């Protein structure tokens, strides 16, 4: 999909902090554990931003007690030292640390698992809107050595490569002999996401010969130096490697472009999370979540190579494969970089969609588009009955319209395109959830 991006950005504004946060007499003011994708650079950068927003001076990072651990340190005007500890050993370790009271906030590059949710129910409902906070969107890039001539792979091929069933580049129409597989370690949310989106969907384990890495940077560098290498990595860590376009089911080939990841259309896009236990009494944890969701925090997200949850208007080039009505819409309007998605098996908006409603309303209001300047377009996953799929897609658009009307937005039109234009395969829950979406178009 060719996109003409018009950078009309808007993020939720963060109110000024009313009063400085209390500083504990001993120990860190906040302990964050979990995802290496977040904890390596993004988490510490957000912490620095919060500390500077709080008026702390001389804010800097120091090595922690172990590998992939660091402390962010600042000083109050009264000379009191404030420390926030960040440990980045994988998403699973963040939830384990919450349970053992070794963390106040869990960073995760995948949603909390049902087993973890049950295990932590004494801390409150970690799937509640205030607890589960989407802080950024990331794309898993499939990376090759820059000299590898292949430019496109589909998710079925990826499963076969990383399982070891396809073991030579020649089998894929390339050159180079044996394929060398590189992967993140078992504690990594990046690995969990790849396993869920690619391997588990097809009942395949990772090849035992895969070289495993705790560090995203080390994995990327290894692939970029190995002409026979292939790996998966978070978007900011492509570095010197080459990212290929990905096809899932009947979707178009998609590179991990900012616009396609922002809408979560890219097949290997994912959400990055902070999980704040409802039982938390740590003011720094809540302050970091609020700061991250605000305009300053989202600017830090973008500066660190992830996709900020800012609303942008993008021009979409019509393609012959699009339905005629959709082509007409693409010619006359611009699409916002938000796809509203729904709780599994429900017409209720998911937690990210609830946050995005505020951002979309603020964008529409600030651009003077409250009165009949918005069209909502619903899609669904494939059904045996095409008419039922078309109806459900329109009902989802109507659900978003109801929420927008509550905030004073009067849409021009709602449309349902049923199971047309899938962005993911319908052979697994993750793909079906992605295809059940509502797009927002503005005139």
Q: What is the pLDDT of residue 218?
A: 96
Two tokens at 441? 């178009």
**Rounded CA separation 97/101 (Å):** 6
**Rounded CA separation 220/207 (Å):** 18
Cα angle vertex 125, ends 121, 126, to 5°? 95
Quick: pLDDT tens for 52-74: 999 999 999 999 999 999 999 99
Quick: pLDDT tens for 142-151: 999 999 999 9
pLDDT at 137 over 80: yes
Q: What is the pLDDT of residue 95?
A: 98
Cα 60 versus chain centre, distance: 27
Quick: pLDDT tens for 317-349: 999 989 999 999 999 999 999 999 987 666 688
**Rounded CA separation 193/37 (Å):** 12
Task: Please state the rounded mean pLDDT for residues 396-417.
Answer: 96
**Rounded CA separation 35/98 (Å):** 13
pLDDT at 3 over 70: no
**Rounded CA separation 51/45 (Å):** 10
Task: Please state the rounded mean pLDDT for residues 382-407.
Answer: 87
Phi-psi region of 179 (alpha: psi -120 to 50; beta: other; left: phi over 0): beta
Q: Find the range with the poorest average confidence among 109-123, 211-225, 292-306, 335-349.
A: 335-349
Q: Which burial class, exposed, middle or buried, applies to 299 when counting CB atoms under 10 A from its CB (0-12, 13-18, 19+)?
A: middle
Cα 428 versus chain centre, distance: 19
Identify the band that residue 17 occupies on the pLDDT scale cut at 50, 70 and 90. Answer: very low
CATH code for the domain defined by 311-442: 3.30.1330.60
Nearest partner of 298 among 101, 13, 7, 77, judged by Cα: 13
Q: Find the range with the poorest average confidence among 13-22, 34-43, 341-350.
A: 13-22
Domain 9-136+272-303 matches domain 138-259 at the CATH topology level:
yes
- Residues 6+ positions from 320 with CB-CB distance below 8 Å: none
Two tokens at 193? 């996401």
**Rounded CA separation 27/20 (Å):** 18
Q: What is the pLDDT of residue 5?
A: 38
Q: What is the pLDDT of residue 230?
A: 98
Q: What is the pLDDT of residue 8?
A: 38
Q: What is the pLDDT of residue 346?
A: 66
Asked if 145 and 223 count as a contact pair (C-beta separation under 8 A), the reply is yes
CATH code for the domain defined by 138-259: 3.40.190.10
Four-point Cα dihedral 343, 281, 83, 75, nearest 10: 120
**Rounded CA separation 391/389 (Å):** 5
pLDDT at 179 over 80: yes
Task: Please state the rounded mean pLDDT for residues 278-285.
Answer: 97
Q: What is the pLDDT of residue 316?
A: 93
Identify the band that residue 181 occupies on the pLDDT scale cut at 50, 70 and 90. Answer: very high
Domain parsing of the chain, residue ranges: 9-136+272-303, 138-259, 311-442
CATH ID of 9-136+272-303, from 3.40.190.10, 3.40.50.2000, 1.10.3720.10, 3.30.1180.20:
3.40.190.10
381 vs 182, higher pLDDT: 182
**Rounded CA separation 237/50 (Å):** 24
Asked if 67 and 11 count as a contact pair (C-beta separation under 8 A), the reply is no
**Rounded CA separation 181/177 (Å):** 13
Task: Please state the rounded mean pLDDT for residues 354-359.
Answer: 92
Q: Find the range with the poorest average confidence among 3-12, 28-37, 109-118, 220-229.
A: 3-12
Largest Cα span, the chain? 68
pLDDT at 4 over 70: no
């Amino acid at each position: 999909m060719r996109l003409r991006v018009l950078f009309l950005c808007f993020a939720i504004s963060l109110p000024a902090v009313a009063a400085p946060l209390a500083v504990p007499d001993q120990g860190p003011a906040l302990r964050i554990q979990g995802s290496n994708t977040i904890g390596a650079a993004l988490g510490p950068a957000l912490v620095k931003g919060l500390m500077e927003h709080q008026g702390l001076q001389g804010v800097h990072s120091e090595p922690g007690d172990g590998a992939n651990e660091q402390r962010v340190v600042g000083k109050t005007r009264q000379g009191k030292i404030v420390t926030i500890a960040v440990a980045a050993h994988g998403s699973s370790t963040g939830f384990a640390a919450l349970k053992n009271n070794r963390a106040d906030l869990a960073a995760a590059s995948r949603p909390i698992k049902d087993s973890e949710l049950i295990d932590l129910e004494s801390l409150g409902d970690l799937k509640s809107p205030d607890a589960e906070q989407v802080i950024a969107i990331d794309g898993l890039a499939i990376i090759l050595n820059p000299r590898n001539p292949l430019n496109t792979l589909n998710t079925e091929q990826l499963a076969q490569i990383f399982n070891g069933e396809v073991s030579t580049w020649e089998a894929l129409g390339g050159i180079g002999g044996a394929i060398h597989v590189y992967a993140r370690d078992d504690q990594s949310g990046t690995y969990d996401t790849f396993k869920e989106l690619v391997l588990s969907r097809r009942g395949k384990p990772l090849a035992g010969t895969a070289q495993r890495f705790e560090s995203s940077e080390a994995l990327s560098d290894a692939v970029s130096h190995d002409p026979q290498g292939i790996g998966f990595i978070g978007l900011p860590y492509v570095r010197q490697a080459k990212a290929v376009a990905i096809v899932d089911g009947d979707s178009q080939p998609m590179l991990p472009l900012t616009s396609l990841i922002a809408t979560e259309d890219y097949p290997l896009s994912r959400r990055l999370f902070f999980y704040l236990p409802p039982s938390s009494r740590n003011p720094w944890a809540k302050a970091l979540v609020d700061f991250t969701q605000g305009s300053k925090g989202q600017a830090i997200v973008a500066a660190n190579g992830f996709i900020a949850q800012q609303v942008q208007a993008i021009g979409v080039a019509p393609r012959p494969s699009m339905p005629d009505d959709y082509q007409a819409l693409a010619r006359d309007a611009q699409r916002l970089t938000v796809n509203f998605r729904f709780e599994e098996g429900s017409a209720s908006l998911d937690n990210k969609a609830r946050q995005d409603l505020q951002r979309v309303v603020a964008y529409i209001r600030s651009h003077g588009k409250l009165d009949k300047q918005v069209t909502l377009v619903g899609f669904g996953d494939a059904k045996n009955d095409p008419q039922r799929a078309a109806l459900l897609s329109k009902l989802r658009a109507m659900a978003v319209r109801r929420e927008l009307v509550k905030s004073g937005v009067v849409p021009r039109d709602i449309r349902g395109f049923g199971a047309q234009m899938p962005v993911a395969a319908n052979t697994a829950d993750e793909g079906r959830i992605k295809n059940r979406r509502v797009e927002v178009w503005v005139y």
